[in-house]
Amino acid sequence: MLKNERSYEFRKRIDVVHQCNINDSTCPRQADECEISSAWKISASGSAPEAVKMTVRDLEEFFQTSMGMTLCPQWDGESGIVLKLDENSGLTNGAFELEVTPDKVVITSATVGGIRRGGVYIEDMMSHRGAPCLKLGTVRREKLISPRIVHSGWGIELFPDSHLNAIMHAGFDAIAVFCRGENQTNIGYLDFNDLIERAAKYDIEVYLYAYLPSFKHPDDADAVAFFENVYTRLLEKFPGVAGVMLVGESAEFPSKDPATTGKHRKESFYHGIPDVKPSPGWWPCNDYPAFLTRIRDAVRKAIPHAKIIFNTYNWGWSPLEMRKKFLENLPEGITVQVTYDIFSKLMVFGQMRRVMDYSIVAAKPGYYFATECQAAAEFNIPLLSTANTAGSTWDIGVIPYVPVPQRWITRFKELDRFRRECNLNAFYDCHHYGWFPSVITELGKAYFNSPQCDLDEMLKVLAQRRAGTGANELLAAWQKWSEAFDYLPATNEDQYGPLRVGPAYPLIFQVNITRTMGRKEIPFPADPKAHFGGGIVKTLYQPYENINQLPAALRYPNELKGIVEFLRLWDEGIAHYEAALSAAPENCRELLERELNLGRFIRCALQTCYHTKKWWCLNRDIQNIFTAEEGLMILDEIEALAHAEIENAKSAIPLVEADSRLGWEPSMEYVGDKWHIEWKIRQVQSALLEIADYRKILSLTGEEN
């Protein structure tokens, strides 16, 4: 039984890199293995860099915590586990070679980063084995994908050393920081140089995700001076920065392309009338390449080797010929970032749906991703993907990861195909929703190294490690949950509505009974210090129609039917998970209980989504009635829905109390915890009072005073 957690207590769990007491005495050494004993030493040069000495200490802690063994450090020795830093080894940056003989294990690398990752690799092998045993022989591992960039899982721009250590152990080698100026982020002050120096000890690079003033046309007479003042002057103070990340929505400029408004999106109006043309951040403008050239030159003037990454996310919906023309004219030295999931198509019950943002519903990529990668390869442009391979998406906005590993495996294999075919060799592994250690991160770490592992077999190993004799039931649970995601609606209104905050999402009675002509949308309560807070929660549920998808009136019946199927499959997965938990050994149960708790919360979130979508349909219907009797019948349905959702929300409260990560997201902070769920219940109870008033309105005869 899980104990209730205080707010943010999950931070203790996210930074645990060595599991306790996993040495299984029932797993004897095999003939092709080396068995490490307490008589062994961990050896490194006494003059080795601090990062190598940190690896020695990390291995020492691993053996003590996970294997119940004490292996002492040995400086300037060459016995036991030897960490060998050899600049002449011929190994590429971050690569390492592991040589295992019956009485010695040698990790060789040309870089301290390779030594660090070699240490993590042997820890992983022994953890999967459940014993201090390694296969005899020599293997070489190098990074297939680098950088693998993540945001903090602790909170926006929060990177204590313990979290940097966890990031490195999870297989990532870079972090992103939102940058608004010198040591300024979206939430305030951060010492960039301090972070760069601390991260380097863990073989982690730092990228600045730019929110910098850039609204200047590249042809203006003062353009060079403008961009140097913004980018060059800034980066001269932070020479350790690995690169700068740009995206249209935060790097708009006054384009002269007649296909655009030429204005910032917030100013694309004329006397209050919206301009129907896209603003420059949402279109592959013919002068965007010149704009990027100015930024590239300004960045490279300060840091010649810096990577400049530009994300075409905002115009992935535009015609291929326009996107290809943009790529063809892209200046040399720009890496193109392509989002894997957005705009993907899928068929559900014979109806085409679209994925409107980050979502594992898109296990396979769509037209935009495929054609953008192929075009970039044609023009020999470096590629990076918003791959979300840290395991999280916008599917349910307040969970740590989406526990559908079979679906992630499909994505991993597809990404690897594009690595081979289009030279896609870098990932943005999560957006600001961060990352969390899970079966997904373990699969990704194992796969995106060379040579690759068999992911399906690896999943069986991880299931066995997690559930023992319950492994087959666990695999069956994950499979059902993976299948359920075929039916999840990845729409804007759901991702910015009930699926953004789960069972804390309000149900607003859309009939506007008012004496003040007020609006029905209500602010979602959130911490005012949060990066976005409740600003990215749209409380008045309504369809956000899009030229690329069917209108709500046609798709909502299909989406409601799909959620019913999702819940059926999800419940089957929960039953399998409960069976896995029942069969698992005692030392596995806490981890299984946590994921089962997560699964039950996801079910509550989808039930809220169903109720909300049905609520909108009924609210629309009641405003199109012809008789009072018809209206009263619809009100009965609305009231029943409100009471059902109150009960659903109540059932979620013990789930979020048991896991402080549920109901929280880095950019919003707590928006789905107990307090917010209780706020939602009060709101629905208030809506029921409005509904009672509308009953009175329907009973009016037209003869009252």
Residue pLDDT, tens place only, 616-661: 999 999 999 999 999 999 999 999 999 999 999 999 999 999 999 9
* One domain, residues 158 and 133: no
Q: What is the pLDDT of residue 1?
A: 83
* One domain, residues 252 and 360: yes
The answer to the question of residue 52 being in a domain is: yes
Residue 25 has pLDDT above 80, yes or no: no
The answer to the question of residue 473 being in a domain is: no
Residue whose entry in the numeric block shows the structure tokens 């002068």: 287
Among 167, 229, 154, smallest CA distance to 199 is for: 167
The answer to the question of residue 475 being in a domain is: no
> Whole-angstrom Cα distance, residue 705 to residue 177?
64
Q: What is the pLDDT of residue 548?
A: 87
Domain hosting residue 214, numbered range: 148-466
Number of domains present in the structure of the chain: 3
pLDDT band, residue 494 (cuts 50/70/90): very high
Average pLDDT, stretch 338-359?
95
Is there a contact between 48 and 84 (Cβ–Cβ < 8 Å)?
Answer: no
Q: Residues 527-580: pLDDT tens digits?
A: 999 999 999 999 999 999 998 899 999 999 999 999 999 999 999 999 999 999
> Whole-angstrom Cα distance, residue 127 to residue 200?
26
* One domain, residues 335 and 186: yes
* One domain, residues 246 and 355: yes
b/e per residue 126-141 (b: at least 16 CB within 10 A): bbbbbbbbbeeeeeeb
- For 271-359, list the strands marked E by DSSP: 273-274, 307-311, 334-339, 345-348, 351-354
* One domain, residues 352 and 499: no
| Helix, strand and coil percent figures for the chain, each rounded to 5 | 45, 15, 40
- For 36-173, list the strands marked E by DSSP: 41-44, 72-75, 80-85, 96-101, 104-109, 133-135, 137-143, 148-150
Among 402, 403, 391, smallest CA distance to 431 is for: 391
Average pLDDT, stretch 333-347?
96
The answer to the question of residue 7 being in a domain is: no
> Whole-angstrom Cα distance, residue 208 to residue 192?
9
CA distances from 595 to 181, 230, 591, 606 (A): 40, 46, 6, 17
Q: What is the pLDDT of residue 589?
A: 94
Percent of the chain with pLDDT over 70: 99
pLDDT band, residue 703 (cuts 50/70/90): low
> Whole-angstrom Cα distance, residue 34 to residue 29?
7
* Angle ∠(336,342,344) on CA atoms, nearest 5: 120
CATH at residue 45: 3.30.379.10
Examine residue 451 and say whether the peptide bond preceding it is cis (omega within 30 degrees of 0).
Answer: yes
* One domain, residues 185 and 305: yes
Q: What is the pLDDT of residue 230?
A: 97
* One domain, residues 522 and 439: no
Q: End of a domain among 115, 141, 167? A: 141
Residue 450 has pLDDT above 80, yes or no: no
* One domain, residues 379 and 439: yes
* One domain, residues 158 and 277: yes
> Whole-angstrom Cα distance, residue 171 to residue 166?
9
b/e per residue 389-421 (b: at least 16 CB within 10 A): bbbbbbbbbbbbbbbbbbbbbbbbebbbebbee
Q: What is the pLDDT of residue 304?
A: 97
The answer to the question of residue 297 being in a domain is: yes
Is there a contact between 69 and 86 (Cβ–Cβ < 8 Å)?
Answer: no
Average pLDDT of the chain to the nearest whole number: 96
Backbone angles phi, psi at 534, to 5 degrees: -85, 5
Is there a contact between 602 and 510 (Cβ–Cβ < 8 Å)?
Answer: no
pLDDT band, residue 128 (cuts 50/70/90): very high
* One domain, residues 127 and 155: no
One DSSP character per residue, 478-538 reads HHHHHHHTTS----HHHHTTHHHHGGG------S---SS---S--PPP--TTSSSGGGG--
Is there a contact between 41 and 34 (Cβ–Cβ < 8 Å)?
Answer: no
* Residue 348 identity (one-letter amino acid): V
Q: What is the pLDDT of residue 344?
A: 94
Residue 87 has pLDDT above 70, yes or no: yes
Residue 252 has pLDDT above 80, yes or no: yes
Is there a contact between 507 and 615 (Cβ–Cβ < 8 Å)?
Answer: yes
Instruction: Give the H/E segment covering residue 597.
Output: helix 589-622
> Whole-angstrom Cα distance, residue 459 to residue 615?
40
- The structure tokens listed for 362 are 């898109």
The answer to the question of residue 12 being in a domain is: no
> Whole-angstrom Cα distance, residue 482 to residue 524?
31
Average pLDDT, stretch 2-9?
96
Residue 671 has pLDDT above 60, yes or no: yes
Q: Residues 183-222: pLDDT tens digits?
A: 999 889 999 999 999 999 999 999 999 999 999 999 999 9
Q: What is the pLDDT of residue 705?
A: 54
* One domain, residues 89 and 159: no
Q: What is the pLDDT of residue 28?
A: 82
Residue 451 has pLDDT above 80, yes or no: no
pLDDT band, residue 704 (cuts 50/70/90): low
> Whole-angstrom Cα distance, residue 435 to residue 10?
12
Q: Is the pTM of this model over 0.85?
A: yes
pLDDT band, residue 427 (cuts 50/70/90): very high
Q: How many residues does the chain have?
A: 705
Residue whose entry in the numeric block shows the structure tokens 């299909």: 558
pLDDT band, residue 362 (cuts 50/70/90): very high
Q: End of a domain among 466, 501, 530? A: 466
- The structure tokens listed for 286 are 């013919």
Dihedral, 287, 289, 294, 300 alpha carbons, nearest 10: 180
> Whole-angstrom Cα distance, residue 500 to residue 496?
5
pLDDT band, residue 29 (cuts 50/70/90): confident
The answer to the question of residue 471 being in a domain is: no
* One domain, residues 431 and 356: yes
* Residue 353 identity (one-letter amino acid): R
> Whole-angstrom Cα distance, residue 365 to residue 556?
24
Backbone angles phi, psi at 300, to 5 degrees: -70, -20
CATH at residue 360: 3.20.20
Is there a contact between 173 and 94 (Cβ–Cβ < 8 Å)?
Answer: yes
> Whole-angstrom Cα distance, residue 639 to residue 471?
43
The answer to the question of residue 189 being in a domain is: yes
Percent of the chain with pLDDT over 90: 93
Q: What is the pLDDT of residue 24?
A: 85
CA distances from 371 to 326, 333, 338, 411, 423 (A): 13, 21, 10, 17, 14
Distance of alpha carbon 235 from the chain centroid: 27
Q: End of a domain among 84, 113, 141? A: 141
